[in-house]
Amino acid sequence: MVLHAFAFLVLLFFHHVSAQAPEEPTLLQNLTVLGAGSGPPNEFANLLFPSNIIGIETPIAIRLVLVVTIPFYEVIAACDSKALGFLGKRNVIPPHLCAPLPFAKISAFLLNRLYRSQFPLEGRNLEAFLIRQGLDPTSDSTDPTTEIGIANAMAMDLLAYLETDGWNSLGDLSRDHFRQQYSDYTGFKPQNHAELDFSRLRRPLRWQPLKQEADHRGRFTSQVHVVPHIGRAKPLVLSREEFLSRKSESPYASADRKKTIGAKDKRTMRRLLREVLKLNRDLTKEQIAQAHWWDNKFLSLGSFIAFYQGVYGFSDTKLVVIGLGEVMAQHDSVMLAWKEKLRHDLVRPPTMLRRLFEGKKIRAFKSLDEGVGLVKAEEWEPIVPIQPHSEYPSASALICQASMDHLHAALTNFIKVNGTIAAYETDIFPFGRSPLTENVKVKYETLQAAALTCGKSRLYAGVHFSPSVDVGFELGKGIGAVAQKHAQDLWEGRVPENCERCSEA
């Protein structure tokens, strides 16, 4: 398992605990995540960040990081003299229960409660682990003098919010029985179903779910749009008015046109497809590496905060606040991207390539071994798998713009970095479906350069058209700064402006 994907989460809390002399070394070490530069991950690390979640869809990945981050922040805030919790409330943990071992127990119990609700498959393994440590995570006590009681009391309010925030995390908005978590409750249906031939699309410029190979053993699936409903969920840092007012114009003149593509849109589409194919033909190893790396937000975005803690040496407590701010920025960004994706519901490059270049051969990247050559337009594939959601705008561009803006604001306003922020450097190693066999070094002189490369990597990958990336950057601007101030306000004891969940608590 690639633990550094979650390096900032590892550092959020557990280094704070392990840096102090343990009262009971065995139990405290078992409740401490090990593996971020300290050897192979221990059992607790693998339970919190199992390898099977590395490839989950971006909205759900962000949801999971939020669920894991909140308990760490909540307990540290409750041990602080003035900080407000995630819901804008002041919680207080008695000083003697803020010592390393009880601190670790409260955090583990609270995390277990949230995990069991929001991600029960992973949560039950965590619960079994805690039981093996001689703990009782199943107790429903709310005794404020005990670790489990404090955790349960905190969990009540947090779960009351998370289970009703519009993500349908329990599946109760879509079904009464045999519920399916995070399933759609809005009745979304694609204009073009997966079995339609690309030459017979009902609305050619609208999204068509793609048929994809599932297991390389003869099983194929048709895409279902992931979480189409989250554009209706509750924002965390943007006001409802601001969230709804952020909109993008369609890149096409007549996106809803039936059966045929208008002349103007056909010219636009041919130009965009030529851009896609030129980038595809000119791919470098570095671009291939970045396309795969940025495709996985755990591996890419998950490494930046830890990197800058290494550069500037700020405390683990400040890391907690920055981590919370970043995931809140990503949360509202992915919601905004999905609101616009569903509003426009636009087609992906492979569908249009097959329609407009049917029966023709195109020059395209085939593989590292084969290089560039002629392929049938109907057979061309991007270098990373197409995600199960519509094309416009690019969620990656939007999320990365907001994330890097947030980190820049945090380093400037919260950490008080003097002068220019240091360049970010890393080695991208081969993983997943990446065809590379050696590490590729990358360096971003500025955080904005990192954001731009993240967005452009979707063009390298061949999964987006350029207008989608451009508008993603524009939609993402400003969210990061709002999220950073929001998190800092909570930490400094102020109820943030436009905190809808704070007024509900």
In the chain, what are the domains? 3-162 (no CATH), 198-504 (1.10.606.20)
Give the separation between CA 415 and CA 406, rounded to whole angstroms.
12
Q: What is the pLDDT of residue 459?
A: 97
Contact 380, 283 (CB under 8 A): no
CB 201 within 8 A of CB 192: yes
What single DSSP character describes residue 82? S
* Distance of alpha carbon 353 from alpha carbon 272, whole angstroms: 10
pLDDT tens string 401-459: 999 999 999 999 999 999 999 999 999 988 777 888 889 999 999 999 999 999 999 99
Q: Tokens standing for 249?
A: 């114009």
In this structure, what token pair is assigned to residue 403? 């994330």
Q: What is the CA radius of gyration of the chain?
A: 23
Q: What is the mean pLDDT of residues 171-177?
A: 96
Say how many C-beta atoms besides its own lie within 10 A of residue 234's C-beta. 18
**CA atoms of 9 and 34, how far apart (whole Å):** 12
Tens digit of pLDDT for each residue in 383-402? 999 999 999 999 999 999 99
pLDDT tier for residue 39 given thresholds of 50, 70 and 90: low
Query: Using an 8 Å Cβ cutoff, are 265 and 257 in contact?
Result: yes
The DSSP annotation for 452-480 comes to HHHHHHHHHHTSS-HHHHHHHHHHHTTHH
Position 221: which residue type?
T
What is the CA angle 40-45-48, rounded to 5? 150
Q: Considering only 21-35, 233-247, 466-480, which range has the smallest mean pLDDT?
A: 21-35
DSSP state of 427: E
pLDDT > 70 in the chain, percent = 93
Q: How confident is the model at residue 61 (pLDDT cuts 50, 70, 90)?
A: very high
Contact 348, 210 (CB under 8 A): yes
pLDDT at 437: 83
Residues 6 or more apart whose CB falls under 8 angstroms from that of 160 comprise none
Helix (H) / strand (E) element for 14: namely helix 7-18
Q: In this structure, which long-range contacts are made by residues 27-36, counting pairs with CB atoms below 8 Å and at least 24 apart in sequence? A: 27/101, 27/133, 27/134, 28/100, 28/101, 28/104, 30/133, 31/104, 31/105, 31/107, 31/108, 31/133, 32/104, 35/3, 35/10, 36/3, 36/4, 36/7, 36/10, 36/11, 36/306
